[in-house]
């Protein structure tokens, strides 16, 4: 033990927040309430695989899912005791070894799999590279639960002067769990927004309004799961480490000012030479949408200094 200890034992005081990077070891029986921001939670109370899974689903998200090498080694570095076996969210289905989120097993870190064993544990005491062991699902072992996971990346779909739209993909794991996103957006001040996810769509898109122009915002998006403890009827809040991004609102709508001048064809012919001058004047004083009626007219003319023509009759955007 020792060097990678990341341990919190048993009862968390109601308001206590535990900000470990990776894992919390919940050593006994009854979970109290609190707020944790851990991805993996080691539960040291031996149970059969299915019971352990039920426990994880009612207190966290599910049994631990390790989709990548990186996740496998991250979990190893957080193992709190090097002599135990921990159930993972990996079992054998007719189509092969599957994680509980439906993904196929891609890791090759088997110590051994026998033909009877349909549930997989992580053997803390085995060699680094080969810690997966298929066991009979009825054996009782400690287990690792999976906490919520924030989006891998967030994309900025739209930005204007006071408004932006963001979206992100929702992993298979999070699609099966009712959760919400805590979005903290910091410009001059920070504001906290929350967006529920309550359908099974694989994309979340949100809209943030009332922003200031030309302002750089730091945005933190984190997944939050709340469980109600049946016995104590207290809330158990799990918040994943946030995904961070930066986005800037545009300076002003000036670049989208629409100029239009209504005039009749006859006066247009006479005025062509003076268009450049009109353009200059209009441009100088324009901070807003500008419209000018030169005479009782019939045409809206594209007003571009270097190219004036009657053939292109439409609004112009500078």
Ligand X SMILES: *[C@@H]1O[C@H](CO)[C@@H](O)[C@H](O)[C@H]1NC(C)=O
Binding-site ranges for ligand X (CB under 6 A):
81, 83-84, 153, 155, 160-161, 167-169, 182, 184, 192, 196, 198-199, 201, 205, 209-210, 220, 224, 237, 239, 253
In whole angstroms, how close is the CB of 120 to ligand X at the nearest point?
Answer: 17
DSSP string, 34-45: EEE--SEEEEEE
Stated length of the chain: 318
Least Cα distance to 132 among 66, 204, 216, 202 occurs for 66
Cβ atoms < 10 Å from Cβ of 243: 18
In whole angstroms, how close is the CB of 122 to ligand X at the nearest point?
Answer: 13
Residue number with CB closer to ligand X (108 or 198): 198
Residue number with CB closer to ligand X (102 or 305): 102
In whole angstroms, how close is the CB of 192 to ligand X at the nearest point?
Answer: 5
What six digits make up the tokens of 217? 């915002």
In whole angstroms, how close is the CB of 149 to ligand X at the nearest point?
Answer: 13
> Is residue 222 within 8 Å of residue 149, measured between CB atoms?
no
Least Cα distance to 66 among 197, 178, 171, 182 occurs for 171
Residue number with CB closer to ligand X (83 or 273): 83
Residue number with CB closer to ligand X (169 or 176): 169
Residue number with CB closer to ligand X (233 or 255): 255
End-to-end CA distance of the chain: 66
In whole angstroms, how close is the CB of 186 to ligand X at the nearest point?
Answer: 10
In whole angstroms, how close is the CB of 260 to ligand X at the nearest point?
Answer: 17
Residue number with CB closer to ligand X (31 or 224): 224
Rounded distance, CA 6 to CA 10, Å? 13
Cβ atoms < 10 Å from Cβ of 10: 12
Q: Helix, strand, coil: what percent of the chain each, to 5?
A: 15, 40, 45
């Amino acid at each position: 033990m020792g060097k990678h200890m990341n341990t919190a034992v048993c009862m968390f005081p109601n308001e206590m927040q535990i900000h470990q990077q990776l894992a919390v070891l919940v050593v006994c029986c009854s979970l109290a309430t609190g707020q944790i921001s851990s991805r993996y939670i080691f539960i040291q109370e031996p149970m059969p695989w299915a019971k352990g899974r039920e426990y994880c689903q009612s207190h966290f998200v599910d049994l631990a899912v390790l989709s990548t090498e990186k996740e496998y080694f991250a979990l190893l570095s957080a193992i709190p005791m090097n002599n135990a076996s921990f159930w993972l969210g990996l079992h054998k289905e007719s189509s092969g070894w599957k994680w509980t989120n439906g993904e196929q097993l891609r890791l090759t870190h088997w110590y051994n799999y026998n033909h009877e064993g349909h549930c997989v544990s992580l053997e803390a005491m085995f060699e680094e590279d080969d810690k997966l062991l298929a066991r009979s699902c009825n054996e009782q072992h400690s287990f690792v639960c999976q906490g919520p996971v924030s989006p891998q990346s967030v994309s900025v779909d739209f930005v204007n002067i006071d408004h932006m739209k963001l979206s992100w993909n929702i992993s298979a794991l999070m699609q099966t769990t009712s959760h919400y996103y805590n979005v903290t957006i910091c410009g001059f001040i920070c504001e906290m927004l929350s967006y529920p996810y309550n359908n099974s769509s694989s994309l979340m898109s949100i809209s943030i309004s009332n922003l200031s122009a030309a302002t750089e915002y730091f945005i933190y998006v984190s997944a939050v799961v709340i469980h109600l403890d049946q016995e104590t009827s207290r809330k158990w809040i799990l918040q994943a480490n946030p995904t961070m991004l930066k986005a800037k609102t545009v300076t002003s709508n000036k670049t989208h000012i629409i100029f239009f001048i209504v005039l009749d064809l006859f006066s247009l012919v006479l005025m062509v030479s003076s268009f450049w001058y009109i353009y200059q004047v209009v441009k100088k004083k324009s901070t807003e949408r500008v419209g000018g009626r030169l005479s009782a007219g019939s045409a809206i003319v594209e007003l571009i200094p270097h190219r004036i023509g009657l053939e292109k009759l439409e609004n112009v955007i500078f």
